Amino acid sequence: MPKVRLIGGFKDPLTRPRYIIWTGAVVLLLAAFVVTALGVTSTYWFCAEVCHKVQDDSIIAYDRSAHSEVSCMACHVPVGITPIGFVLKKAEALGELYLTATNKFHLPLNPDSHLALSRKYFPEKQCNQCHNLELRPVTPSPGIIIDHAVHSENDIQCTACHNRTAHVEDFDLTLTDPNTGEPNQKHDDFMLMTACFRCHTLTEDSPSGIWAPGACEACHTPGFELMPDNHRVEGFYELFGESSGHAEMAREEYERAGEAFTEWQAHVGDLTDYDLPVVPVAAVNYCSTCHVEREFCDGCHGIEMPHPAGFAEAHGDDGRARPEVCETCHATAEGVDFCNACHHPQGDPTRDWIPQHMGAVRESGAQACFDCHAPTYCAECHVRGGS
């Protein structure tokens, strides 16, 4: 090996081109690697088979959607992103690989659809790069009126409503969570009427702080059938008949929506400032999309519904003063005294109790009477001659 000559303490200039060539080669190889990596990680194969392989339900939904021929990058990379921004976006996505490798990924992916509510990740221009509403007519479902311009003017981006367009979940999810063994849950569908009522309300109050009109004519064409099919099934509501259907639905909705709203309030502060502060769909009471609860329910029942805490222990005075209110729900047929059916089961609830009570007292004694009445109650009639 020839010795390197030193001239004035420096290497011979004739040997420098070797280092330049090797440095250039390394730079070119690194650039080729980066370009190849960016290209490979932008393919459907990488997204579906590597990064999100454990979230196959989202991939299946994408494959069955109208966007299945549109690349993942077209929607998930900001429009007009710079080369540097694109590289940083890829670096940010490395977090997904970490979650997958450490088995800490979400099932389903993006469970609360926060990305769909994000003005940062899904601004309106993300959809408008293909969907120009000025040139493309909108064809909503029959009977539905949608004013897209009003939503746009109020800075409500497309995905705030169209959250599952590219990942349509109109099929049964048979995949299971490998951590729990339970079937994966579907995402909330923001195209349901309950989702509209995250902002649209029948009153001036909006749980999300974003108000829009909730009157039927604001979103439905004249003549549209407003009563849903589930209200027509036998047992949903029948005057003095089987009506447990509507009562059970109201009770379940009241409890479910209340719990979801309370949970949302506890975590709303965790949302970033670019997310729409709308309540989750689960926090919207299905009944409230057509009825103002306090006006409709209480107006029909004549009393606060559901009954407030402690009602059962103190309902006697109200029941005696307004028995017809109790009978609205509790009478099984017109003319049946519900109070007698419950409190005096020994008698015939279709007849007045007073003429019947002597036989019941003779057979069973008066002790049961004192469960509701003071000991002096009997004296009102039997001693003082009351009527």
* Residue 365 belongs to a domain: yes
pLDDT of residue 140: 83
- Please report the pLDDT score of residue 8 as a whole number: 53
**357, part of any domain:** yes
The per-residue pLDDT for range 294-312, each reduced to its tens digit, is 788 888 888 888 788 888 7
CB 233 within 8 A of CB 243: no
> Residue 7 falls within a domain, yes or no?
no
If one counts the domains in the chain, the total is 1
Q: Is 30 within a domain? A: no
Q: What pLDDT is stored for residue 91 in this prediction?
A: 86
Residue 331 covered by a domain: yes
> 95: pLDDT confidence band, cut at 50, 70 and 90?
confident
Whether 243 has a pLDDT exceeding 90, the answer reads no
At 175, the pLDDT band (50, 70, 90 cuts) reads low
Let me know if residue 236 belongs to a domain. Answer: no
CA distances (Å), origin 225, targets 142, 143, 217, 316: 11, 8, 12, 41
The answer to whether position 244 is within a domain reads no
- Percent of the chain, pLDDT > 70? 88
Q: Per-residue b/e over 177-199, b at no fewer than 16 CB within 10 Å? A: eeeeeeebeebbbbeebbbbbbb
- Residue 202: helix, strand or coil by DSSP? coil
Question: What is the DSSP pairing of strand 6-7 with strand 200-201?
Answer: unpaired
pLDDT of residue 307: 82
End-to-end CA distance of the chain: 130
Per-residue pLDDT at 342 exceeds 70: yes
Give the residue-averaged pLDDT of 46-67: 87
Query: Span 115-133, mean pLDDT?
Result: 89
**Residue 156 placed within a domain:** no
pLDDT band at 287 (very low <50, low <70, confident <90, very high): very high
Q: Provide the residue range defining the domain that includes 368.
A: 307-382
> Which amino acid makes up residue 251?
R
- Pairing of the two strands 200-201 and 10-11: unpaired
Of residues 275 and 164, more confidently modeled? 164
Determine the pLDDT at residue 384. 63
Report the range of poorest mean pLDDT among 67-81, 95-109, 165-179: 165-179
